[in-house]
């Protein structure tokens, strides 16, 4: 059997669009899923796993600017993905994904495709908080600071952030409270302190 005779394994689980996905329950990315031949080797055709009869390399693995279909080892495989697959339900969500990714570079789209929120949700939320706060520092637009605090609150980046940050302001960088916060949260707290001090200074000038 040659690579050109390989077929997409019917045993491979698929998503709603009929594309084969990784068999592990904690992963959901699309895979090559080409049927393994008897002559496959541990290094060339995803033979690392003997519990499944198909290639588990990521879809398009080893092929430039390709995020779907067979990996570079199985480019000649019979393609029954998407609408060609009997498990295909509808392409509406695929159209939505295409629309959302129109402005992304190939590397950005690939990174989003590979993002596993179940496994990396905490890191993702922390990065979103950092990005929103960085935008605030660049623009001085309070909306970004509010966005950072909202993300931090809703996703538990800071435990009960409002109370801790207010306590930090009232204590003027109390060391006990500071130790409870990570470096990113400390930066947000410091900014709140600066704002409170500016407001106080403005109030004092008004009173005079």
Tell me the average pLDDT across 82-102: 56
Output the six-digit token pair for 22: 């990784």
Q: pLDDT tens digit string along 31-72?
A: 887 877 654 444 444 445 566 778 877 777 766 666 677 776
State whether 125 and 23 are in the same domain. no
CA terminus-to-terminus distance, the chain: 90
Domain housing 1: 1-115
Number of domains in the chain: 2
Same domain as 145, residue 45: no
Asked if residues 177 and 168 have their Cβ atoms less than 8 Å apart, the reply is yes
Q: Average pLDDT over the chain, rounded to whole? A: 66
Q: How many angstroms from the chain centroid is the CA of residue 205?
A: 48
Last residue of a domain, one of 74, 92, 115: 115
The residue written with tokens 């660049």 in the block is 138
Banded model confidence at residue 151, pLDDT cuts 50, 70, 90: confident
Average pLDDT over residues 136-143: 86
pTM (2 d.p.): 0.31
Length reported for the chain? 208
State both tokens at 178.
């500071």
Q: What is the structure's pLDDT at 132?
A: 85
**Domain match, 93 and 125 both:** no
Q: Of the candidates 115, 145, 176, which is a domain's last residue?
A: 115
């Amino acid at each position: 059997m040659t690579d050109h005779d390989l077929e997409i394994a019917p045993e491979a689980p698929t998503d709603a669009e009929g594309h084969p996905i990784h068999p592990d329950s904690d992963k959901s990315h699309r895979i090559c899923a080409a049927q393994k031949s008897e002559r496959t080797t541990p290094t060339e055709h995803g033979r690392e796993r003997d519990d499944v009869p198909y290639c588990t390399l990521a879809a398009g693995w080893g092929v430039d600017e390709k995020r779907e279909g067979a990996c570079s080892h199985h480019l000649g495989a019979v393609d029954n993905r998407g609408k060609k697959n009997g498990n295909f339900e509808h392409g509406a969500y695929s159209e939505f994904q295409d629309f959302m990714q129109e402005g992304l570079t190939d590397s950005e789209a690939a990174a989003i495709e590979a993002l596993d929120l179940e496994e990396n949700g905490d890191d993702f939320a922390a990065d979103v908080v950092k990005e929103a706060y960085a935008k605030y520092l660049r623009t001085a637009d309070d909306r970004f600071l509010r966005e950072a605090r909202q993300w931090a609150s809703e996703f538990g980046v800071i435990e009960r952030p409002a109370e801790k940050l207010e306590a930090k302001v009232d204590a003027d960088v109390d060391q006990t409270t500071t130790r409870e916060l990570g470096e990113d949260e400390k930066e947000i707290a410091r900014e709140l302190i600066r704002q409170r001090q500016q407001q106080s200074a403005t109030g004092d000038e008004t009173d005079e």
